[in-house]
């Protein structure tokens, strides 16, 4: 599971799944860049914990547009000279139920800006950088891992904006794999179910909420962040050398589709 000499960009890296992924990639030997939006102290503390600026760099960047995504890739390449792994982990999930008949268009647009448009910019710039990196025929140029959700597979009532954006990432995974695999660029997707993070905290805050959620998961609990980060790391290692275009479900058995 070693990634010595590799450079990874992990979005949404200051907390939750992202922070756990930053730690695992550093443990595997990669130099890591990640972004944060407002959690400056937490991000800087994580970068220091993981070895400091020479090997782990935190960038302040609100990923709300394709332009912002491209800029973050440029920052990573400027800092470390290359990019070998792009992990698109950031995203927003508006916690209040919003029926489609009354959903505020501003909510819809903000969700798409963050969860989808910025991903286009990230992937576009990262793939272009990977294509410029010298590689012999048959060698790996890079890895892209998009983090989707069970909501992107089965939908989620009253959260159509989130489900649509995450479903699009699954389609993007399959499209990009078909386009890029022959060039030595692997594109895969991890689709988590419920995870114990700050984003899911409001839904898990009450006994009734937890009972409802746990009742849909055969394992009877939500995931720990490490249980999502580890499959992401795996997909960027030689052990996943014959996996491309895959949607890896990490959801406790809740949704059994690809």
| pLDDT tens-place string over residues 142-151 | 999 999 998 8
pLDDT digits (tens, 9 = 90+) for 163-172: 999 999 999 9
Number of domains in the chain: 1
Q: What is the predicted pLDDT for the residue at 257?
A: 59
Q: Are 177 and 187 in contact (CB under 8 A)?
A: yes
257 falls within a domain: no
List the domain range (segments joined by +) for residue 173: 7-250
258 falls within a domain: no
Q: Please count the helices (runs of H) and the strands (runs of E) in the chain.
A: 9, 7
Measured distance between the N- and C-terminal CA atoms of the chain, rounded to whole angstroms: 25
pLDDT digits (tens, 9 = 90+) for 205-252: 887 888 888 888 889 888 999 999 999 999 999 999 999 999 999 999
The pair of three-digit structure tokens given for residue 221, joined into one six-digit string: 């609990």
Mean pLDDT throughout 36-50? 95
pLDDT band for position 11 (50/70/90)?
A: very high
CATH of residue 192:
3.40.50.720
Residue 113 has pLDDT above 60, yes or no: yes
pLDDT digits (tens, 9 = 90+) for 177-193: 999 999 999 999 999 98
Query: Residue 117: phi, psi to the nearest 5?
Result: -60, -45
256 falls within a domain: no
63 falls within a domain: yes
255 falls within a domain: no
* Percent of the chain with pLDDT strictly greater than 70: 98
- Concerning whether 186 is annotated as a catalytic residue, the answer is no
Q: Which residue of the set 36, 59, 162, 194 is catalytic?
A: 162
């Amino acid at each position: 599971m070693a990634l010595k000499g590799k450079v990874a960009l992990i979005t949404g890296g200051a907390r939750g799944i992202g922070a756990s992924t930053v730690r695992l990639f550093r443990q595997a030997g990669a130099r890591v860049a990640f972004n944060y939006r407002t959690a400056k102290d937490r991000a800087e503390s994580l970068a220091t914990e993981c070895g400091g600026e020479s090997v782990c760099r935190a960038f302040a960047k609100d990923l709300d547009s394709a332009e912002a995504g491209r800029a973050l890739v440029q920052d990573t390449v400027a800092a470390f000279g290359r990019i070998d792994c792009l992990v698109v982990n950031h995203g927003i999930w508006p916690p209040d139920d919003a029926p489609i008949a009354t959903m505020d268009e501003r909510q819809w647009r903000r969700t798409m800006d963050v969860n989808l448009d910025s991903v286009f910019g990230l992937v576009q710039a990262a793939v272009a950088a990977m294509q410029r990196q010298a590689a012999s025929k048959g060698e790996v140029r890079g890895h892209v891992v998009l983090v989707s959700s069970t909501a992107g597979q089965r939908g989620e009532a009253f959260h159509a904006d989130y489900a649509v954006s995450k479903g699009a990432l699954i389609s993007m995974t399959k499209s990009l794999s078909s386009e890029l695999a022959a060039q030595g660029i692997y594109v895969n997707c991890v689709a988590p179910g419920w995870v114990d993070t700050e984003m899911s905290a409001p839904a898990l805050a009450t006994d009734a909420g937890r009972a409802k959620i746990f009742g849909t998961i055969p394992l009877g609990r939500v995931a720990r962040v490490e249980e999502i980060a580890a499959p992401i790391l795996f997909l960027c290692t030689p052990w996943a050398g014959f996996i491309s275009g895959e949607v890896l479900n990490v959801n406790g058995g809740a949704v059994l589709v690809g």
